[in-house]
Amino acid sequence: MSRIDDVPYYEQRPDKISATLYNLWRRTRLHFDLPLRIPLPTFSGMAWVLEEGQWVCVDERQNDLPILAWVEFEDKGRSALHTPVQCKLNYYHFAASKIRAGALACLESTLEKELKKSGKENDPLLKE
């Protein structure tokens, strides 16, 4: 069961994740245990909780209440690693759109740092 199954969303919209970020995610999940929790230093009290089929941005001060969630990634049969991945974005808070871009940028930089720290950024099998 997922952390967002019992929480109704405010709105759901189609979205896409950049190829760079999605490929970083693919590499990260090969080397780290899930769920993966990543604090959002630019947004006090917020964190990412990355699970196999969803990325959830949560408010830690509210018992990990979701703020945003990227779900239903359309990556089956993906033949080009340079194209964005379609998904759905759930909004759980009326002002969630204000943190969307910053949260994704933080996630991308954190995943890059964690892969470098673990020594996995130069793994020849993981080159995109």
Band (pLDDT 50/70/90 cuts) for residue 28 is: very high
pTM for the model: 0.87
Residue 70 banded pLDDT, cuts 50, 70, 90:
very high
Every domain of the chain and the residues it spans: 17-116
Sign (positive or negative) of CA dihedral 15, 19, 21, 22: positive
Contact 74, 87 (CB under 8 A): yes
